[in-house]
Amino acid sequence: MAAEPSNPSYKDERSTEPYNEDKVSSPEMLKRLRKEHRMFQGDWSHLERLVRNLDADKATADLETEKRLDEWNKWADSLQGQKPREFIHLEGAELMGAHLEEAWLQGAHLEGAELNNANLKRAKLWRAQLERAELVRANLEGVDLRLANLKQAKLNNANLERANLWRAQFERANLWRAQLERANLWRAQLEQAKLARASLEGAELSNANLEGANLYHAHLEGANLYHAHLEGAELLEANFEKADLRLVSGLRFDDNSVFRARIEGNAKDPWSVLRRSYTGPWFFVHLLLLIAFFSPYIGKFLYLSGLSQAQKYVINRAELLEGGLIEAENRFNETAYDHAMHAPWLPDVADAACEYRASVIDAWKEDLDRNFKNTGAIWVLLGWTSGYLTIVLGAIVVAYNACRAFLTLRVSSLRDAEERSHVTPGLREYENLYRIHQWARVFLWFAALSTLWSIGRWAIMTEVFVPIKELSNTV
């Protein structure tokens, strides 16, 4: 018989009001169901069928597991081939402590149902709708919850060991202290889920969405988190020993155990970036860049320092020479005037020699004063004698390398502690360091350009004497 289109049982939509009271076998049963399931919003006939099977199950508790709920499972399985298909509607059912082991509930609507302490071991709940359902301390070991909807469900202390949760939806679900060892959570949606102190040892979480999830003190030993999404997740003291953390996005280590964890060499998380940038080979790369920038100025400093020493030596010798010349002039003048009667031209020669000596030495001193100035060596080394552009570029390089020195010291100490304990530093210990690093990256480009400009300017403007023979050989 074809179903009526208005019957909610033939729609894969949540029911908000109970219906099909007339299909309950007796008024007494309907009264009982209303008393035991006061928040029920589904099909009364479906609930009666399940309750009768549960009653029979209690009477035959000594039967083997596969024989329990046999009538219910056959009926639920028969719904799959119906056209139009009838969907199981048990919204708001109160099934606390119910024995639903291996129950067939594929695609069932159980929104808001109370299943606290229920036994759903190896139950078939593929595509089941369990939004806002309560499953506190429920036994869901080995359950099939593929593509199931468990948004905002309460699963505190629930046992989900080896459960198949492939692409299940757990947005804002409460999984505090839940047992999820070796569960399959591939591509599961766990945004803002509460997984504090949950056990996820060996769980399959590749491509899972854990954005904003609370994983405080969660156990993820040996879990596969390949390409998982952890943006905004709380990871304080979560245990990642032997976990696969490759290509995880949004990862922010926070006092986590990472002994033998798999992390790619170019990981993008803040702590990995810091420990890679400020320790190891990159430290020497930046040191070479610093030396390359200052090498022209160091050469200039050495050149000017040598020239200054030569100038001082020449000035000293000139002063000694000037003193000797003055003394010689005085003696010559005395002799010239004594012999003026015999050689009247000697005084004029002596005066001319004195004037020439004075003019040469004075001109030389004026040239030194005009072209050279006493300047501190530090300003020459920093290039502050070469114009404002050089001053700005030099200041940027100095600031950048001072920042790097600070970060290197701090990150090195944190990395040393990590290598000893195999526990990452807390987020508060390196969060501000990462912010400084991000600003330093801006200065890095300026520092690199400054280095190239400094070397290029020195190479273009510096002239050297080359033998003519060598020049002719290159032509």
Question: For residues 299 and 294, what is the distance between their CA atoms, to the nearest angstrom?
Answer: 9
- The whole-number average pLDDT for the span 303-326 is 67
Domain boundaries, the chain: 282-461
For residues 332 and 216, which has the higher predicted lDDT (pLDDT)?
216
Question: Percentage of residues in the chain with pLDDT exceeding 90?
Answer: 53
CA dist 386 and 357 (Å) reads: 36
Instruction: Quote the CA–CA distance of 449 and 469 in Å, as a whole number.
Output: 37
Is the Cβ–Cβ distance between 273 and 292 less than 8 Å?
no
- Tokens matching residue 290: 């610093």
- The answer to whether the beta carbons of residues 168 and 151 sit under 8 Å apart is no
Question: What is the longest distance spanned by two Cα atoms in the chain?
Answer: 164
In contact, 92 and 41? CB cutoff 8 Å: yes
- 143's CB contacts (< 8 A; 6+ apart) are 120, 121, 122, 123, 125, 160, 163, 164
Q: Is the pLDDT of residue 346 over 90?
A: no
- Average predicted confidence (pLDDT) for the chain: 82
**How does residue 2 score in pLDDT terms, banded at 50, 70 and 90?**
very low
pTM: 0.74
Q: What is the pLDDT of residues 363-382, one digit of tens each?
A: 766 776 666 666 666 666 55
Q: Is the peptide bond before 425 cis (omega within 30 degrees of 0)?
A: no
- 10-43 pLDDT, tens digit each: 777 888 899 999 999 999 999 999 999 999 999 9
- Contacts of residue 463, defined as CB under 8 A and 6 or more positions apart, other chains included, come to none
From CA 389, how far away is CA 380, in angstroms rounded?
14
What pLDDT shows up at residue 402?
81
Residue-level length of the chain: 475
pLDDT at 441: 78
pLDDT band at 405 (very low <50, low <70, confident <90, very high): confident
Q: Which residues contact 335 (CB under 8 A, 6 or more apart)?
A: 346
Q: Is residue 280 scored above 80 in pLDDT?
A: no
In order, the DSSP letters of 241-305 are: TT-B-TT-BS----S-B-TT-B--TT--SHHHHHHHHSSTHHHHHHHHHHHHHHHHHHHHHHHHH
Q: Is 117 left (phi over 0), alpha (psi -120 to 50) or beta?
A: left
pLDDT for 408-455, tens place per residue? 889 989 999 999 999 999 999 999 999 999 888 777 676 667 667 666
Give the position of tokens 């000594």: 62
Q: Which amino acid is located at 403 in the chain?
A: C
Indicate if the pLDDT at residue 269 is higher than 90: yes
- Least reliable range by pLDDT among 73-77, 141-145, 349-353, 428-432: 349-353
Q: Return the residue matching tokens 């290029």.
A: 456
Residue 341: pLDDT above 70? no
User: Is the pLDDT at 247 greater than 90, yes or no?
Assistant: yes
Quick one: pLDDT at residue 44?
95
**Sign of the alpha-carbon dihedral angle for 36, 39, 44, 49:** negative
What Cα–Cα distance (Å) separates residue 229 from each residue in 170, 177, 187, 213, 223? 14, 21, 10, 10, 14
At 167 the pLDDT is: 97
| 320's tokens | 């000694």
Beta partners for residue 189, in sequence order: 169, 209
**Cβ neighbours for 322, distance < 8 A, ≥ 6 positions apart:** 357, 361
**3-class SS of residue 307:** helix
